[in-house]
Structure 1
């Protein structure tokens, strides 16, 4: 679905990315892991159009594409959910899902259509929110994450990038979000998850891609790889040995 090849990004004398490669396949969850400063967020920003790489190529659907801004990524079908979620806490679930997509002319019929579309989308993802007209500030952390992910699906994307989707969530809320990630995979989407939690990574991913100091450090099939091997790739113990 998407491949990034030999991506390089420099900030002065610092190489945030140094010839990094990434491959995303439809119907597969790939976990992107690495220590702080490994280049994970920089790579996601390159794919999502937030920053432009110094060199390298991105292919989408087998053809080379240029992603110079977030609009380019969205037009291709790449949707990103950042860690801060970018939700308006004073607005309800319906308003957050359609934020920026409203028409200038308000009508009761449009409001009803938006509410029906919200209920249908949440039901298709098995997201359970009792009152979708309640302000987002009243929702749990897991429900907020679910709303942000659901909003990302409104444009019928083919690739979804999730930045630390389970950060600061409790056990039950984490389980709900991981179930939602699996449902994205079941819908045939290519899903990339950035995470520091290796337990979550092993629970939901099909492959684990490791970055270390801005470089490729490993691409593992989750079912065939031990947690120790992944940790060794993250820390560089494998290279030192």
Structure 2
């Protein structure tokens, strides 16, 4: 709460507050430079805030790194997806967390437990609601943009135990590919995970999200149920005005 972050003379966050609840999708919108990505990087441990408090399950916590955030159950889907194109889907699902199968009597030689990786990857893809992928042995390079995005979401779902943060997860995707990703997001929320999605696609967010948080000049200026908002309301809030139903 009340997160601040400054870069020299630039105040990127000026007391931003946000609450992401289990089992719901929260859309975070705002103009370029509003502080959306900076706030997300603070939550996932990629940036240290200058002030304010992060709380997990009601307990104030100082997140020291992205690994620390992962230990808290928070996974992040970045714009560049952080996928290795020459590796298989299963290998990407375990990237940096590969299970090791020990040799005879628990000794050497040791090797990757590829069977476990394949089985877990299949389960994760099924859980994420992805129905367009024929095999977890396929190279990521051979997948469509929507399938790659969905794999990044499925990986986050597989490892997350509390929340998933997504920064423009459908940027540059077509309608069909976007639908694949959104289906995965809905499936993740249905599992009880808290989902935070940064997006400039306001119409899509009003259809996908349970709530919409609006940022302006480093502050969170609104946090409202998506069903109560129109595109005009959101744009008005982004520009500093008042949405319908809010007190002037």
TM-score of the superposed pair, with normalisation by structure 1: 0.93
Greater shift after overlay, 56-65 or 124-133? 124-133
Measured in 2, the distance between the counterparts of 1:153 and 1:188 equals 10
Name the residue aligned to 2:122: 119
SS in 1 for 2:207: helix
SS in 1 for 2:176: helix
Measured in 1, the distance between the counterparts of 2:129 and 2:138 equals 18
2:162 corresponds to 1:158: yes
Q: Where do 5+ consecutive residues of structure 2 fail to align?
A: 102-109
Measured in 2, the distance between the counterparts of 1:125 and 1:11 equals 38
C-alpha contact (below 8 Å) 1:178/1:200 kept by paired residues: no
Match of 1:71 among 46, 56, 67: 67
Shift in Å at residue 121 of structure 1?
A: 1.3
Name the residue aligned to 2:180: 176
Q: Matches of residues 72-87 of structure 1 in structure 2 within 5 Å?
A: 72-87=68-83
Match of 1:206 among 205, 210, 214: 210
Name the residue aligned to 1:132: 136
Measured in 2, the distance between the counterparts of 1:219 and 1:100 equals 36
Shift in Å at residue 113 of structure 1?
A: 1.7
Name the residue aligned to 1:41: 37
Q: Where do 5+ consecutive residues of structure 1 fail to align?
A: none
Greater shift after overlay, 35-44 or 118-127? 118-127
Once superposed, which parts of structure 1, at least 4 consecutive aligned residues long, lie more than 6 Å away?
A: none
SS in 2 for 1:55: coil
- With over 3 angstroms needed to count, the CA separation of the structure-2 counterparts of 1:216 and 1:124, relative to structure 1, is closer
Shift in Å at residue 145 of structure 1?
A: 0.6
SS in 1 for 2:159: coil
Shift in Å at residue 117 of structure 1?
A: 1.2
Greater shift after overlay, 98-107 or 21-30? 98-107
Give the RMSD, CA atoms, in angstroms: 1.5
Greater shift after overlay, 23-32 or 156-165? 156-165
TM-score of the superposed pair, with normalisation by structure 2: 0.91
Match of 1:195 among 189, 192, 199: 199
Measured in 1, the distance between the counterparts of 2:128 and 2:159 equals 15
C-alpha contact (below 8 Å) 2:157/2:188 kept by paired residues: no
Shift in Å at residue 154 of structure 1?
A: 2.8
Shift in Å at residue 186 of structure 1?
A: 0.6
Aligned residues: 234
